[in-house]
Structure 1
Amino acid sequence: MTDTDGTGVGAGAPQGAVEPARLHQLFEGRRLTPTQRRIAHCLVRQTAAAPFLSSVELAQLAGVSQPSVTRFAVALGFDGYPALRRHLRDVAPAGPTVDARPANPYQQAVRAEIHHLLQLASLLADAGPVERAGRLLAASRPLPVLGLRASAAQARGFAYFAAKVHPDVRLLDEGGSRLADRIDMAKNAGASALMCFALPRHPAELLAALDHARATGLTVVTIADGTFAPVAAHSDLLLPAAVGTDLVFDTVSAPMLLGQVLLEAMCDALPDAQARLEEFDTRAAARGLFVD
């Protein structure tokens, strides 16, 4: 699933690195332990070096023990870590390595975000999951949008734009004992799906809320920081987008863009989306809402 931007550089990863889509395929459908998810996350972040890391080096990068790396490889269906590394080398395209020019920490963070966006572009080569998610969200009346703590801003932005084309969007950005009540109210009002943003760190009450939503019959669509995120087992359709960890606080360019892509897919599934947008623009002009 390689996408090329016309410059001769693959959109999924630097040439010579493992395509992130191939790594995600290794993890899909696997019930990984928290330690194994940590190793998987490390491999995704180290796509250029992944085919050449020893088990000891990978363990040090991931902050786990060397036996944990071996158990991780076995959990993915390989005889051991050497077999996993051979597989990574087999699927890594030949070519020059990533630009190794010196960079200050701020530049490194920006470059990491660019890499995450390229990973997202590679994953979106298969548009099926996003298109399916768009149809599910468009059909849900009302549409609850859930995001707690660090994810609240993403949920709030998605709900703001979704409300311009969807007739009934309900933002759930606060936890507490009333969260389950609000999910129940949405379900009783006719909701069939719930949109969730789940970015690190993942609140325990978020997992409980997703379990409750699914128990009521809602289909949970989640944008998370990877297919191995803790919310994976609590979601019906998970859309991964990596977060940056090079700065004090995580950077979320890829999840933010994926949210906008999902909004586009939802608009495509709403036959009256364009009419609603034009109606809003007419009202906004009449009220003088904007200066431009």
Structure 2
Amino acid sequence: MAARAAGVRLRGLGHTFGNGHAVLRDIDLDLPPGEIVAILGPSGCGKSTLLRLVAGLDTPSAGEVLVDGRAVTGIDERCAVVFQEPRLLPWRDLAGNVRLGLPKGTRKAEGDRIVRHWLDVVGLAGFHGHRPRQVSGGMAQRTALARALAREPGVLLLDEPFAALDALTRLRMQDLLADVQRGAGTTVLLVTHDVDEALHLADRVVMLGSVPPEPGATVVTTLDVKHPRPRDRAHPELAELRADLLERLGVPRPVPAEEAAPS
């Protein structure tokens, strides 16, 4: 069961809040079908706002969002969103929560098959009838991922989906996402604060930042991650990319011990 990946094109995208605060400006970005792109940047630079504009949850103040060449003018069913919190309905079991993601008009038998498939894919076989309070945070977030994938979206939008999880569960969820994306083939736009997460998952890392004197964040750096998957998090090539990204985020490279030692 694979989604038909959709391409995303942002042209001159900008957004200003009602109080006059410009958060984004002049965003030009292309996501070819099937690519994983990670968005990095300092807190408050508009990463989540960018995701909401692509999803059609907010309306841009300038520019346009195109999915498969068609303008996004409202909530777009070609896109599915996973937020930092699972946002599951506590009175529904896990299968019932995943069913909420099904496209309108899905017949019951087909819906049952799709729900069962995605719960199995995310490692929740046997937990279909559990309520959210009966499972761990990681399992709840896997359910949220299954709910998004049940829509068979052309574009999967992820807003720091693993940030609230413990370190080990976060690593497992990253690996799960990489496996699911490889099988489903959907285009992924991932907002994250985690440089290591971006390097483990993305084909391309896009960094947002401000360029004075103009207000609002724009694209300041784009970095290709060409290391093949599955990726070894400790690979020296990724370590060098990590140091580069951290430096661009304002974290200086460590000084080698022999250079730091007093003469």
TM-score, structure 1 as length reference: 0.25
Q: Which has the higher relative contact order, 1 or 2, with Cα contacts under 8 A spaced 6 or more apart?
A: 2
Which structure's residues are more often helix, by fraction? 1
Q: Which has the larger radius of gyration?
A: 1
Which structure's residues are more often strand, by fraction? 2
TM-score, structure 2 as length reference: 0.26
